[in-house]
């Protein structure tokens, strides 16, 4: 598989990254080389192997209420907060376009 400018633009959209033209060109070259390199994995015989975690299974703590961040702490680092909530620009217009 060859990574192209179109591949980069598609993947950048999936990853919510706006890239300028120069970046797209440079990253397409990098991505093509890296993808070509990792394709060596296709030569490895993995027949019959189930994919799974190689580290011990995660353990969950009891589902009991614990002290957490206060409302003020949670909002303290927000670039923009309004009326006790995180402020975002309008998104309805973007939804209509999609």
Partner 1 sequence: MTVSELLDGSPIALGNAVRSGAVSAVEIARATIERITSRDGNLHAFLSTSEAIVDDARVLDERRTRGETLGALAGVPIALKDALATRHAPTTAGSKILEGYVPPYDATVVQRLRAADALFPGKTNMDEFAMGSSTENSAYGPCKNPWDATRTPGGSSGGSAAAVASRMTPAALGSDTGGSIRQPASFTGVVGVKPTYGRVSRYGLVAFASSLDQIGPLASDVRGAARVLDVIAGHDARDATSSRARSADPMTFEASCDREVRGLRIGVPDEYFQGVAPEVDTSVRAALAALETSGCTIERVSLPHTTYAIATYYVIATAEASSNLARYDGVRFGHRAEARDLASLYGKTRDAGFGREVKRRILLGTFVLSAGYYDAYYVKAQKVRILVARDFERTFGAGVDAIACPTSATAAFALGEKTSDPLAMYQSDACTLPASLAGLPAISVPCGPTPSGLPVGLQLIGRRDDEATLFALAAACERTYPPRPAPFGNRA
**CB-based contacts of 32: which residues, under 8 Å, 6+ apart?**
2, 3, 4
Query: At 86, is the secondary structure helix, strand, or coil?
Result: strand
- Taking the complex as a whole, the smallest distance from the CB of residue 65 to partner 1 amounts, in Å, to 13
**Binding status of residue 67 toward partner 1 by CB under 8 A:** no
Rounded to the nearest whole angstrom, what is the least distance from the CB of residue 84 to partner 1 in the complex? 14
Cβ–Cβ < 8 Å for 10, 24: no
Cα–Cα distance for residue pair 75/96, rounded to 1 Å: 29
Interacting residue ranges for partner 1, rule: CB under 8 A:
1, 3, 7-8, 10-12, 14-20, 23, 26-27, 30-31, 33-35, 37-38, 40-42, 44, 46, 49, 51-56, 58-61, 69, 73-74, 76-80, 86, 88-91, 93-94
């Amino acid at each position: 598989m060859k990574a192209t400018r179109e591949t980069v633009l598609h993947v950048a959209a999936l990853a919510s990254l706006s890239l300028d033209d120069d970046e797209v060109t440079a990253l397409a070259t990098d991505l093509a080389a890296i993808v070509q390199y990792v394709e060596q994995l296709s030569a490895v015989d993995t027949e019959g192997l189930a994919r799974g975690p190689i580290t011990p299974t995660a353990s969950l703590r009891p589902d009991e209420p614990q002290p957490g961040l206060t409302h003020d702490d949670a909002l303290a680092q927000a670039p923009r907060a309004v009326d006790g909530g995180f402020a975002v620009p309008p998104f309805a217009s973007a939804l209509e376009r999609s």
